[in-house]
Amino acid sequence: MAMNDSVNILNSAYLAVEYIDSFLPDNPLQQPFKNAWNYMLDNYTKFQIATWGSLLVHEVSYFLLCLPGFIFQFIPYMQKYKIQQDKPETWEKQWKCFKTLLFNHFFIQLPLICGTYYFTEYFNIPYEWEAMPRWYVLVAQCFGCAVIEDAWHYFLHRLLHHKRIYKYIHKVHHEFVSPFGMQAEYAHPLETLILGAGFFIGIVVFCNHVVLLWAWVICRLMETIDVHSGYDVPLNPLHLVPFYAGARFHDFHHMNFIGNYASTFTWWDRIFGTDSQFIAYKEKEKKQQLTMKK
């Protein structure tokens, strides 16, 4: 009975969104995107699209999303939004981070990306434009992937903080007490594999078109670079996502090496009480601000 109710609710929600979508104006970018997609299919093999296309999407998205945070350090006005203002970025740290990133991207992640084609073939995942899901289905699938990845990340990340193994793996990621966007994927190779596995679980569950692979890559990078940015910028559209953790939430984790273990949402930390120190910190901060105003 409960399962039937859930299915009926989802079907109703889907029909409601589909109905609203029918009133929206045509997307002017749809036809150019369709032409580009079909050109890609006509001129490249599925292996090239799945492998080199995925690598290109990851690299371009990663460094483009890092760019705003990188530029912020040169804009005095933006420094009031920096969370740890006493710990500015340095060229030495950023160069060290960049070198490690290149190693992880091309020697750890690229071999995994090479398996994308075989994954799509094994599960018979289509590439054709006609089979591409509608935008609202894609958004829902990415949200589902985020929920699954967040649960995996919370429990495995918390395990990596165990005193018996912390210094061997996760300590690398915590070399930077004040994080910056490019540091999002700065990690020990084993951590890249362990925590990165959560990324693929949602793909296995939801993937019905190769475009979801790329959409989820972009969404995940957008989130992890934002929470590592070191800046709590107002009017951040990601704050509209329900239960979104954000930069201040994760920055506290880097400052204190404890609590706030989830990657995207706040509910696991709330359920297990691992956000208690963060809540106390926010209350203290709020009291200090009220005192200053008086």
Q: Amino acid identity of 143?
A: F
Within-domain flag for 179: yes
- The pLDDT mean for the chain works out to 90
> What average pLDDT does this structure show over 120-132?
96
Within-domain flag for 127: yes
Within-domain flag for 211: yes
Within-domain flag for 282: no
Q: What's the total number of domains in the chain?
A: 1
Calpha distance 77→79 (Å, rounded) = 6
pLDDT for the residue 290: 67
Calpha distance 139→293 (Å, rounded) = 42
pTM of the predicted model over 0.85: yes
Within-domain flag for 36: no
Within-domain flag for 133: yes
Domain containing residue 220: 49-75+90-230
Within-domain flag for 60: yes
Would you say residue 6 has pLDDT above 80? no
pLDDT tens figures, 41-69: 999 999 999 999 999 999 999 999 999 99
Within-domain flag for 263: no
